Structure 1
């Protein structure tokens, strides 16, 4: 595990290190602060000291399942690690495509970036602080009364990620998706989805398809497959 006091983005740094063949699969890079942290769709990820900002590298191999499934691998590993730190994890839920919610508020996010045969998985967790966002509620582990620190959380996360990565390679996406569904909001939950072209859809959560895409049941009885978008629990 590599740690730096500050950097622009752990994802960006790890991509450069992978390009230069300086690091191998399984390397984790953690920053105590980021000055140019990124979320999905180019959003800024507020990165004050005290939270977890870390990225790891996956080197894709011939015969690996489709790389898109790594988002689910990261999500179930993160959920397990955070669950282990909570005295009462009953309010913890995964939300497609990359959020972990605690009592309905955003606790963390995941950003995957691919370059050739390398996928960098970036994970941010609100450990000590949480930002105020206009479009969604946020929270932190400290706000929930949890005293775990970012280093301890990452050590557990790294072990769990390695285990789920091995399972993904050995058994495919099915067991990973099954775990994700077990930790997500229930089938039938009302969702609103904003697609990349800003089209809005409302419907019911129907689970995931075989690739890990979101299945949304619309009011007219049709089923819409969502590969990208922002999802809000209604």
Structure 2
């Protein structure tokens, strides 16, 4: 159920267009591209089209009994973390960063982008398998550079299996357990972070975990707690 195309503007955009035309996209179906000409990440960032990297999207169909859709970013992070550990056994300092990045020793290895259409969420995932793009003000790394070269199609099959496993658990009411698993794989509580808050500018504090809905919590210098619903956390000094 993995459809591969040589070149496309964006796998996320393509699936959103199909949903907009009323097409039914079953869970477990993936669209994977060799190259993207207009890939994107969160906040309009460019999503590298490096050949040999994984660039793909899938769909989660929302049900009335599901947790909040925003938690799917964290669930997807668990799937990516799991498959990276499978492809690169023994890889150390591999941590999830709220809400959508996978870092190795502080350098970005993978990113996730969620976009919603009606009762469907398109989940886009990019992983640097063979090529680490140059990104301004952000360190990047690839599995190949870390000594764990992995073929794109092998990675795709393994990721699809990991994603299906965690998505099934999410649908079946296991979000509390998945939340705890995410915390065990994330930057530790107490890590100094900053976030650009649309209302208050840049806010810095200590990461204090995530709440029951997957919202990031920051403990500020005055001891108060602030919930971060949107934006990207940056590790201070990382």
Partner of 1:35: 37
Matched ranges for 1:92-107 at <5 A: 92-107=94-109
Residues 70-124 of structure 1 show CA distances to partners (whole Å, capped at 9, x for unaligned) of 1111010110001111132221000001000011100110000001011100000
Which whole-Å CA distance do the structure 2 matches of 1:137 and 1:194 have between them?
Answer: 19
String of CA shifts for 1:172-214, please: whole Å, max 9, x gaps: 4211111110001111111111224571111111110011011
SS in structure 2 at match of 1:32: strand
1:54-203 to structure 2, matched below 5 A, reads 54-196=56-198, 199-203=201-205
**Corresponding position: 1:53 with 2:49:** no
RMSD of equivalent CA atoms: 1.3
Measure, in 1, the Cα distance between the counterparts of 2:185 and 2:174: 19
Residues matched between the structures, number: 234
**TM superposition score normalised by structure 2:** 0.95
Q: What residue in structure 1 maps to residue 8 of structure 2?
A: 7
Gapped runs of 5+ residues in structure 1? none
Q: Indicate conservation of the 8 Å contact 2:19/2:117, yes or no.
A: no
SS of alignment partner, residue 30 of structure 1:
strand
> SS of the residue aligned with 1:204?
strand
Whole-Å separation in 2 of the counterparts to 1:214 and 1:65: 16
Structure 1 ranges of 4+ moved more than 3 A: none
**d(CA) in 2 for partners of 1:99 and 1:214?**
14
Structure 2 stretches of 5 or more lacking a match?
none
Q: Are residues 1:206 and 2:212 paired?
A: no
Q: 2: CA distance between counterparts of 1:142 and 1:98?
A: 21
C-alpha spacing 1:50/1:197, structure 2 compared with 1 (3 Å): farther
